[in-house]
Amino acid sequence: MTQFDLVPLNPTFGVEVTGLNLTTVSAGSLFPELRALFEEHSALLFRGQDLTPEKHLELAQLFGPVEDREADARKPGEAFKIPEVSNVLEDGSTSGEMDLKTLNLKSNFLWHADSTFMPVPSLVNILVGRIVTTTGGATELASTRAAWAEMPADLKARVQGRGIWHRFSHSRKKISEELAKLPMFNKWPDTHWNAVWKNPVNRREALYIASHSFLIDGYDEAESAVLLDELTAFCTQPRYVYAHHWSAGDVLLWDQRAVLHRGTPWPYEQPRKLSSICSSVKPSDGLPSLRITTEPA
């Protein structure tokens, strides 16, 4: 690790990496060190990077298969388009506060891990600051690994050894019934994952929940909602949270197996654009032990 320096983001997880140009990372050079930092610290911040869309995509591919939620809608030969977390419309204007586009952005203000509702969840989100606002618009991260390690035994016991069901439209319904009915939020059947994800590299455990979670094995939906809120509240105490205030060129990436995240509000008349690529987990990332195949009762 002599090529770069590390500065903690939070006492319990995350580091800022300085002295590393992400455009120089390749499978045979620096990525093994980068992946080791990812496994150890769960969240990595790189400031002042000049990461082009092409380099962004190359970096994501080093972690695993790039997640493509629009594959079913893409025409033959049409190229993958890097997703954007943005309120900027095609004509350069910004979406209104109550537009469905903005409401979908607001659903990201709920604590979540990406893609828990997909047949194969994501390993990492690599987020790049493109257009940032003068105020607000932070991205907050919370370590469910650090929180799980310190969680009281009685709270742990209520969820340990159980499965949790996830549904994309569930998180959107918390914001808008109309939003939740859109086809894009109803593409995939409910998923059923173990409540705890053990990292196969270092054997550390993390609670695996999200705003998409709606049912815990052994509880009804009302009981599950109460327990999920309690678990989320514990994991998102200030001790386990890092808030990133964006500058253009920042790159923030985190382990979706062990970190929750959410956006925070900003003045909606101001344009904001982050580019986001998720890479999917592979069996070597612990997927087989996470998957539960039984149907709900």
Domains located in the chain, CATH noted: 5-290 (3.60.130.10)
Residue whose structure tokens are 């009762």: 297
Three-class DSSP category at 25:
coil
Contacts of 99 (CB under 8 A, 6+ apart): none
**Beta pairing, strands 15-18 & 43-46:** parallel
Among 89-98, 132-141, 176-185, 207-216, whose mean pLDDT is lowest? Answer: 89-98
pLDDT, the chain, mean: 92
Q: Give the integer Cα–Cα distance in Å for 104 and 130.
A: 19
- Signed CA dihedral, 47, 115, 265, 241: sign only: negative
Question: Nearest Cα to 190, choosing from 50, 292, 72?
Answer: 292
Mean pLDDT value across residues 138-160: 98
Residue whose structure tokens are 């962004």: 56
In this structure, how many other beta carbons lie within 10 angstroms of the beta carbon of residue 62?
17
pLDDT of 284 over the 70 cut: yes
pLDDT of 278 over the 80 cut: yes
| 140 in Cβ contact with 241 (< 8 Å) | yes
The pLDDT score that the predictor gives to residue 9 is 98
Residue whose structure tokens are 């998180």: 171
Tokens of 176: 């808008």
The pLDDT score that the predictor gives to residue 44 is 98
Q: Structure pTM?
A: 0.93
Q: Give the integer Cα–Cα distance in Å for 151 and 130.
A: 37
Neighbour order of strands in the sheet with 139-143: 241-244, 139-143, 259-263
pLDDT of 297 over the 60 cut: no
pLDDT, greater one: 295 or 282? 282
What are the residues facing 291 on neighbouring strands? 193
Per cent of the chain over pLDDT 90 is: 76
What are the residues facing 45 on neighbouring strands? 16, 252
What are the residues facing 259 on neighbouring strands? 143
- Compute the C-alpha angle 170/122/53, nearest 5°: 110
pLDDT of 105 over the 80 cut: no
The pLDDT score that the predictor gives to residue 107 is 84
Question: Nearest Cα to 134, choosing from 261, 269, 262?
Answer: 269
Per-residue pLDDT of 26-46, as tens digits, reads 999 999 999 999 999 999 999
Q: Give the integer Cα–Cα distance in Å for 92 and 108.
A: 22
